[in-house]
């Protein structure tokens, strides 16, 4: 049975309050065990619309791009969810390398090293390939995503995580923007360190074989809902290794071969 309008509103409120106030909540599927993936993507859309509407009244929150999740084996094994997902990036999530992330605004954050794309053209369709994606990408850059599931102990099922906008919380893009044809994105190696010690290693190919292939998957999925990527969008193509937890006082650094590095500290 589809969710009623009031159930939709209630779940969106539930997840948005948990994010705003920084507390954990039980999974949506505990109350709604029949929640489908389609219901979950619809909840995600309503959640982003609400965030943008509420934000306009306060600080002007805008949609700025799309993120992919669970595109790597390492992440799928880690979370016990074996399917890729997508969510939205909004302007309030954008962190800066020189501005510490404030730990007490978050619940149980983790950092993920990712390759970011900046779109030079709109891209919409249901049959697009890796090559189509690469043609529409203007620049690639190193990035760190901070995920912070609103669910208890960071545990969820596929519909839960989709409804929660794929655990999105913050993201930081490094300042080294390069043209996509100047690097072999699948071969790029990455080392992520916490407080100067190596924490995880990965490579561009970890993301469904090639980050552009992962983006083609997401665009085709978005296309089924008559949506797509827009010129100027930032796309986080998915973690190239496991995520690592951090807390106040920690600093995280991801070094990508050919792409340069990106880092943040947490206050």
> Which C-beta is closer to ligand OOG: that of 75 or that of 210?
75
170-179: b (≥16 Cβ within 10 Å) or e: bbbbbeeeee
Q: How many CB atoms lie within 10 A of CB 61?
A: 18
Beta strands in 122-245, from DSSP E residues, in sequence order = 137-147, 168-173, 189-194, 197-203, 234-239, 244-245
Residues 163-182 close enough to bind ligand OOG by CB under 6 A: 166-167
What residues from 102 to 141 belong to the interface with Mg ion (CB under 5 A)?
A: 112
Q: How far is the CB of 132 from Mg ion (least distance, A)?
A: 23
Binding residues for ligand OOG, total number by CB under 6 A: 15
Stretch that binds ligand OOG, among 39-47, 67-75, 135-143, 218-226 (CB under 6 A): 67-75
**Segment contacting ligand OOG by CB under 6 A, of 14-22, 63-71, 88-96, 193-201:** 63-71
The partner residues of 85 in beta bridges, in order of sequence, read 69
Interaction between residue 160 and ligand OOG (CB under 6 A) = no
**Residue 192 interacting with Mg ion (CB under 5 A):** no
Taking CB atoms, the residue at the shortest distance from Mg ion is: 145
| Choice between 103 and 135, CB closer to ligand OOG | 103
Minimal CA–CA distance to 115: which of 163, 167, 71?
A: 71
Q: Which of 252, 119, 233, 114 is nearest to 192 (CA)?
A: 252
Quote the least distance from Cβ 173 to ligand OOG, whole Å: 14
112 contacts ligand OOG (rule: CB under 6 A): yes
Q: How far apart are CA 41 and CA 36, in angstroms?
A: 9
Residues that bind Mg ion (CB under 5 A): 112, 145, 239
């Amino acid at each position: 049975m589809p969710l009623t309008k009031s159930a939709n509103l209630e779940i969106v409120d539930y997840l948005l309050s948990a994010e705003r106030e920084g507390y954990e909540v039980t999974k949506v599927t505990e109350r709604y065990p029949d929640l489908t993936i389609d219901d979950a993507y619809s909840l995600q859309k309503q959640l982003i619309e609400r965030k943008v509407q509420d934000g306009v009244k306060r600080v002007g929150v805008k949609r700025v791009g799309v993120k992919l999740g669970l595109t790597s084996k390492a992440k799928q094994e880690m979370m016990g969810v074996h399917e890729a997902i997508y969510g939205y990036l909004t302007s309030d999530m954008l962190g800066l390398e020189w501005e510490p992330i404030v730990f007490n605004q978050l619940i149980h954050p983790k950092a993920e090293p990712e390759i970011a794309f900046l779109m030079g053209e709109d891209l919409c369709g249901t049959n697009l390939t890796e090559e189509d994606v690469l043609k529409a990408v203007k620049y690639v850059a190193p990035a760190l995503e901070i995920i912070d599931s609103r669910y208890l102990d960071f545990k969820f099922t596929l519909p839960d995580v989709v409804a929660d906008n794929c655990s999105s919380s913050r993201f930081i893009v490094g300042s080294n923007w390069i043209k996509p044809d100047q690097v072999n994105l699948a071969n790029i190696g990455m080392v992520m360190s916490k407080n100067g010690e190596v924490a995880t290693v990965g490579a561009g190919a970890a993301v469904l074989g090639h980050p552009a292939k992962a983006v083609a998957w997401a665009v085709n999925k978005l296309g089924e809902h008559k949506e797509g990527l827009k010129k100027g969008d930032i796309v986080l193509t998915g973690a190239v290794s496991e995520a690592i937890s951090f807390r106040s006082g920690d600093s995280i650094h991801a070094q990508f071969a050919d792409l340069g590095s990106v880092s943040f500290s947490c206050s």
